Amino acid sequence: MQSHLRWVIFGRISALYKKWFGQVEQLTTEAGLDLQIVPRDGHDISRKHISPNAIKVLYRLHKAGYKGYLVGGGVRDLLLGLEPKDFDVATDATPEQVKKLFRNCRLVGRRFRLAHILFGREIIEVATLRGHHESDNSKIAKTNQSGRLLRDNVYGNIDEDAERRDFTVNAMYYDISDFSVRAYGGALQDLQAGRLRLIGDPETRYREDPVRMLRAVRFATKLDMHIDKDAAAPIVSLAPLLKDIPAARMYEEALKLFFNGKAEANYQLMQQYQLFGPLFPMLASAMDDAPNGSAAMMALKVMQATDARVAQDKPVTPSFFYAALLWYPLAERAVEIANEAGLNSYDAHFAAMGDVLEMQNQRISLPRRHATPTKDIWQLQLRLERSMGSRAFKLIELPKFRAGYDLLLLRADVEGGRVAKLADWWTQFVEGDDAARRQLVRGQGGGKRPQNRRRRRPRQRPAAKPQGES
């Protein structure tokens, strides 16, 4: 599948390459960034391939006298012949000016002030063109000691905005006023070469926003591109910066990394660049202690299983993903608690659940709507071991039974032995009809046993006294 995508993209880009550069206008920005302007008849982007709601936003901005551009990944994917997931817009209007134009608008964000235009379930994100930081604008732009941007509401023009973009392949703008494409920093050449290259100094750009390292991984696997050697060089040394990213933002990034059909590829590349550990420190610690152990095997199987479900168009949930991924760190923590507090296995596991989720939430914040089912899936692992008798009929009716059973199957693949036998029994029970299930339960001694009532001796009456005795 990956190689097929590579050849499809290469073939399309090769076909368009002559078309682009036969008509492209070559310019240079004031900061020295290459700019190529491709006219309407020099590219294949059509308005019919763009979300109608995004077109509405672009035209309303244009009619109000503002600049309106489709920007970033939407333009990139359209040029590659892919279907964009989102359509983002850039404009020279401020967020407050955008809000005045659209009644269905809300302003969000502190670090980056954005306008969200709501069309039912679709959200068109509108960002004001960014400008350069100045020494006296600390009220609207601020960085911490490591160089990470804490606040960034400096506005500028399209050339300055392009210089602030992360990767060249994302520094492309579709202009609604004349339907041309403006590509900065050699974006077209990088698309043709399958190369991910940062605009500016890589270390500085990663320090500004460490999440760009995760974006490099995600774009590389999604588009089957390679990370340029200059862009790749500082990643390993800067990976610890991810620890300082807000946990709520990391939850959204994790969804993009693992729930879009590229979980295994992203996991492997993150391991290569040491980006996985900062997101899952407990799991990384367990894998460091035993590189080929149960935790490492489970992580790989979870990624593969998630990709398989996405490919089959089946639902994937964060609750199961995190329950499976953190099962062995949970088991390890439960053993520690049992030894320290003298608790039995069930109580130790229950106490460990809170500890593991609390520690994980420091890096990736798992919303309560997913955290509670995660605990349910963990509890089921213990109940599945204890309920192979008549209680199995009630257990199978629980809402999270299927997720708990699926985790048991993954554990069986990892551990074998006793867990594999347990999984096999439950598989027979799940797939069997009512009669087969009752037979399984009887085989475990779980049927009703006849009651052996002890026969009481008849109560002996005292012997009758002879008449005349008193």
The catalytic site residues sit at 86, 88, 166
Tell me the longest C-alpha to C-alpha distance in the chain.
140
Residue with tokens 């071991």, as numbered in its chain: 385
DSSP string for 47-108: GGGS-HHHHHHHHHHHHTT--EEEETHHHHHHHTT---S--EEEESS-HHHHHHH-TTEEEE
* Residue 337 amino acid letter: I
Q: How far is CA 416 from CA 127, 183, 329, 412, in A?
A: 52, 54, 19, 5
Residue with tokens 């390292």, as numbered in its chain: 213
Query: CA 235 from chain center: how many Å?
Result: 20
What is the chain's length? 470
Give the tokens for residue 446: 């779980």
For the chain, state the CA radius of gyration.
31
Angle at 162 between CA 161 and CA 166, to 5 degrees: 105
CB 51 within 8 A of CB 124: yes
Helix, strand and coil in the chain, % to nearest 5: 55, 10, 35
d(CA 183, CA 69): 12
Give the tokens for residue 404: 């708990």
Query: CA 289 from chain center: how many Å?
Result: 26
**3 state SS of 33:** coil
Residue 79 per-residue DSSP state: H
d(CA 47, CA 52): 8
Instruction: Report strand pairing: 105-108 vs 149-152.
Output: unpaired
What is the torsional sign of CA 345, 348, 352, 353?
positive
Q: Shortest CA distance to 190 belongs to which of 168, 211, 159, 219?
A: 168
d(CA 233, CA 456): 87
Query: CA 104 from chain center: how many Å?
Result: 28
DSSP string for 260-307: SS-HHHHHHHHHHTT-STTT-HHHHHHHHH-TTSHHHHHHHHHHHHHH
Residue with tokens 């209007």, as numbered in its chain: 93
